[in-house]
């Protein structure tokens, strides 16, 4: 009993005493610069990260420009080969286009392929057959893809697969378009005025319209059968340089669709990009306008169109 009382008195004494320990103050050695610096939780980027991002962006822009330039050279070389033949001795326009493409570092294989395509054959000598794929995609957008191939069954199967992946269906769509001859002449310093070109053009059968481009130069619209003759007359008369000359599928004005949805535009851009991945595809026509799309989004569609 005595032992229990002593134990209880000790416990009571301990509970009454505050649990405080004397300790020396903690000394901090923070420099003045660190005390004044604001605190942030964002991780610091390692040196070179932003530089690499900029490098990738610049490379992407450069690669896109090279692709556009290469496509333009291929069009011109194919056009001159088709119009005037593949013999450079008798086709100075083709010789000049090939020289310019070579100077711009366009691979020889691509140049040879463009010349051969203008003659209706592949680089291996196989005869190319023209074909078109007509397709529709919501909302009421009509597509025509023109191709030249040595294997129609394979090419049509490949293009249909791309269309299906993007929600398009192979279906008749030619009635949304009209076949027209179109020639684009490059701007020329001291060149003719629009009225002068019009005055000459109306003297020749088959001319439907002539437009002056904002950056200079002219676009002539003709009946398909009269394309070559009108192009040659105007080119010789005014010394105009050709940029493009071909029979195209021009969308009918009353069928045009204004693009309003960025998601729809991006999906359409993926479809057109998929078509363009096949070298057999030479042109794509779609009945769309920019609508309310931003320039950036619209370019993802317009960059693949040939009208």
End-of-domain residue from the set 118, 144, 159 = 118
Residue tagged 């003045």 (tokens): 32
pTM: 0.72
Distance CA 269, CA 267 (A): 5
182 and 97 together in one domain: no
181 and 245, same structural domain?
yes
> Does residue 165 share a domain with residue 135?
yes
Q: Is residue 83 part of a domain?
A: yes
CA-to-CA distance for 5 and 7, rounded, in angstroms? 5
Query: E-strand spans in the chain?
Result: 129-137, 141-149, 169-170, 177-185, 207-212, 218-222, 242-251, 257-258, 281-286, 288-289
How far apart are the two ends of the chain, measured CA to CA in Å?
A: 110
Cα atoms in the Cβ-side hemisphere of radius 13 Å centred on 53: 5
Residue 215 lies in a domain: no
Answer whether residue 82 is part of any domain. yes
> Is the same domain home to 138 and 287?
yes
Q: What is the pLDDT of residues 33-82, one digit of tens each?
A: 444 444 444 444 444 445 444 444 444 444 445 556 777 888 889 888 98
Last residue of a domain, one of 94, 118, 142: 118
Q: Based on the domain organization, do 66 and 176 belong to the same domain?
A: no
The whole-angstrom separation of Cα 28 and Cα 42 is: 25
Looking at 96, 118, 140, the residue that finishes a domain is: 118
Q: Is residue 209 part of a domain?
A: no
Residue 166 lies in a domain: yes
- 């366009």: which residue's tokens? 106
Tokens of 31: 């420099």
Sign of CA dihedral 138, 140, 145, 151: positive
Overall number of domains in the chain: 2
74 located within any domain = yes
Find the radius of gyration of the CA atoms of the chain. 35
Dihedral through CA 257, CA 258, CA 262, CA 267, nearest 10? 20
Q: Which residues contact 287 (CB under 8 A, 6 or more apart)?
A: 141, 142, 176, 177, 251, 252, 255, 256, 257
Residues 68 and 167 both lie in one domain: no
- Is residue 213 in some structural domain? no
Q: Are residues 160 and 253 in the same domain?
A: yes
The answer to whether residues 89 and 142 belong to one domain is no
What is the extent of the structural domain holding 167? Answer: 129-186+241-302
- 160 and 67 belong to one structural domain: no
> Same domain for 140 and 272?
yes
**In this predicted structure, which of 33-42, 72-81, 158-167, 298-307 has the lowest mean pLDDT?**
33-42
The answer on 103 and 73 residing in a single domain is yes
Is 69 inside a domain boundary? Answer: yes
- Residue pLDDT, tens place only, 206-215: 999 999 998 8
Mean pLDDT of 283-305: 95
pLDDT per residue as tens digits for the range 9-31 = 554 454 444 444 444 444 545 45
Q: How far is CA 89 from the centre of its chain?
A: 35
CATH number for the domain including 264? Answer: 3.30.70.980
Per-residue pLDDT reduced to its tens digit, 83-94: 889 999 898 889
91: CATH: 1.10.10.200
Structure tokens at 95: 């010789």
**Does the pLDDT at position 7 exceed 70?**
no
CA distance 262 to 191: 41
């Amino acid at each position: 009993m005595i032992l229990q009382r002593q134990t209880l008195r000790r416990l009571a004494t301990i509970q009454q005493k505050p649990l405080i320990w004397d300790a020396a103050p903690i000394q901090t050695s923070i420099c003045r610069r660190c005390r004044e610096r604001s605190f942030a939780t964002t991780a610091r980027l390692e040196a070179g990260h932003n530089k690499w991002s900029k490098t990738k962006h610049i490379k992407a822009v450069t690669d896109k420009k090279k692709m556009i330039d290469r496509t333009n050279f291929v069009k011109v070389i194919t056009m001159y080969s088709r119009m005037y033949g593949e013999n450079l001795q008798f086709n100075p326009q083709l010789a000049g286009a090939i020289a310019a493409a070579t100077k711009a570092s366009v691979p020889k294989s691509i140049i040879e392929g463009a010349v051969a395509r203008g003659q209706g054959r592949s680089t291996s000598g196989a005869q190319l057959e023209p074909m078109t794929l007509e397709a529709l995609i919501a909302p009421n957008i009509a597509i025509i893809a023109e191709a030249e191939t040595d294997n129609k069954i394979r090419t049509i199967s490949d293009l249909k697969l791309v269309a299906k992946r993007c929600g398009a269906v192979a279906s008749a769509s030619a009635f949304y378009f009209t076949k027209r001859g179109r020639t684009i002449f490059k701007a020329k310093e001291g060149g003719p005025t629009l009225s002068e070109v019009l005055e000459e053009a109306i003297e020749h059968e088959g001319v439907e319209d002539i437009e002056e481009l904002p950056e200079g130069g002219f676009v002539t619209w003709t009946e398909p059968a009269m394309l070559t003759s009108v192009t040659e007359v105007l080119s010789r008369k005014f010394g105009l340089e050709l940029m493009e000359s071909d029979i195209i599928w021009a969308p009918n004005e009353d069928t045009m669709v204004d693009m309003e949805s960025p998601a729809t535009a991006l999906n359409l851009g993926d479809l057109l990009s998929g078509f363009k991945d096949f070298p057999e595809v030479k042109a794509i026509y779609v009945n769309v306008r920019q609508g309310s799309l931003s320039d950036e989004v619209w370019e993802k569609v317009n960059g693949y169109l040939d009208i």
